[in-house]
Amino acid sequence: MKKSILYIAGVLFAGLCVVESCKKQDGGNNALTPIAFIIPDGFPQPVYTFENNQLTEQGFQLGKRLFYDGRLSKDGNFPCASCHQQFAAFATLDHPLSHGFDNQFTTRNAPGLFNVAWMKTLHWDGGINHIEVQPLAPIEAANEMAETIDNIITKLKADAGYRQMFKAAFGDEEINSQRMLKALAQFVAMIVSSDSKYDRVKKGQATFTIAEESGYKIFQAKCASCHTEPLFTDDSFRNTGLPVDDVLKDYGRMRITGDPADSLKFKVPSLRNIFATFPYGHDGRFYSVGAVIDHYRNSVISSATTDPLVANKIPITDYEKLDLLSFLQTLTDSTLINNTRFAIGE
């Protein structure tokens, strides 16, 4: 009896050996620490599911370091974080257009980076089809980070700290563009905004003031077709009747599709954190939320591609506008803005 127990134990041990010996080598002693991507209550399934990019603490930390590292830009001055500031919900505060290499402006307003994992496409014109390849655009744009992938890889390889972090995240010290971009995707996709007052009201943990409640009803009646809850965007492209800037001459989505029906269409931005991300619009032309509301009340230009939902302007009274502003303030996610997990220091 005793012998057979030992025998069984031996077989089990052998089985364990099989499992161990068949495991992919992960660089020995530094085991990966998986972390979970939590879908907030009421949110749909995300578009990005970390397929072929296992989400780990090591990958996230590497992505964070890259996000804040100026060496991803040509002169060292323009990390991702230069245009995506945490205190502005990862948009650029107080800049219609952000600053790039050699005293140049970007051509569009930097969007806040949060809930990116739910986006089917990225950029105002939807030109980017996957979160992992998005950083290539600002990195290589001459008026943004103005750097090449090869130069960045060379710089990172020369840094022992990075070699260690790549090894920790991917099993060995090899540094290549795929690993760098996957790590960045881990960091950026983890930036989720779901803890505003609005969210707490939805969970029954807070209550709207009378003005906020009234504003919410107005929002649902007049804004929610495009700024759909809970992400506060339907991720579509629409012409909201803005006149073309005669310097930028930006026709939006048409640049990508080549289809005149897409002329002047831009991605519907989320209204989450709207009070943290001013100014507004694809070129940042609106300096206040009130000015945006006034556009929809008074200034929409109706053309062949203007969205039917706004082509005849949106009737909003002054009284409704004030309540609407009260409600929109409940979309500020202070938890995200102050979360040290996404901050450079930690």
Partner 1 sequence: MKTVFLYCILSCGLLLFACQKELAGNAGTTQQYTVKITFQPVINSQALVLGETYHNSFGEDYSITALRFYAAHPSLKNNNTILAVTGETKYRLIDASLNNTLSFTVTTTDSIFNSFSFQIGVDSIDNVSGVQSGDLDPGKGMFWTWNSGYVMAKLEGTSSFSGMPGHEFTYHVGGFSGANNSIRSITLATQQVKLNSNRTTGIIVYADINRWFSGVHSLKISDNAFVHSPGELARQYADNYAVMFSIAEIAGE
Applying CB under 8 A, the residues found at the interface with partner 1 are 3, 6-7, 9-11, 13-14, 17-18, 21-22, 51-53, 123, 127-133, 136-137, 139-141, 148-150, 153, 176-178, 181-182, 185, 255-256, 258
Least distance from C-beta 51 to partner 1, angstroms? 8
Question: Least separation, in Å, of the C-beta of 16 and partner 1?
Answer: 9
Least separation in angstroms between residue 320's CB and partner 1 is 39
Contact between residue 268 and residue 234 where contact means Cβ atoms under 8 Å apart: yes
H-helix or E-strand spanning residue 100: strand 99-100
Report in angstroms how near the CB of residue 107 gets to partner 1 at its nearest.
11
Tokens 């005669």 correspond to 246
Q: Which is nearer to partner 1, 171 or 230 (CB)?
A: 171
CB 86 within 8 A of CB 342: yes
Cα gap 31→81, rounded to integer Å = 29
Strand, helix or coil for residue 337: helix
- Of the pair 189, 328, the CB lying nearest partner 1 is at 189
d(CA 103, CA 18): 59
Q: Which residue number, 104 or 225, has a Cβ lying nearer to partner 1?
A: 104
Q: How far is the CB of 291 from partner 1 (least distance, A)?
A: 29
Q: What's the angle, vertex CA 250, arms to CA 193 and CA 134, rounded to 5?
A: 40
Shortest spacing between CB 136 and partner 1, in angstroms: 4
Q: How far is the CB of 293 from partner 1 (least distance, A)?
A: 32
Residue (174 or 245) nearer to partner 1, CB: 174
Peptide bond before residue 40 is cis, with ω within 30 degrees of 0: no
Q: How far is CA 93 from the centre of its chain?
A: 16
Q: Closest CB to partner 1 among 128 and 309?
A: 128
Taking the C-alpha atoms of residue 161 and residue 168, their distance in angstroms, rounded to an integer, is: 11
Nearest residue (CB) to partner 1, 6 versus 38: 6
How far is the CA of 290 from the CAs of 117, 168, 250, 294, 313, in angstroms? 29, 48, 24, 6, 15
Give the Å distances, CA to CA, from 228 to 109, 232, 296, 323, 326.
21, 4, 17, 19, 18
* Closest CB to partner 1 among residues 53, 326: 53
DSSP class of residue 108 equals S
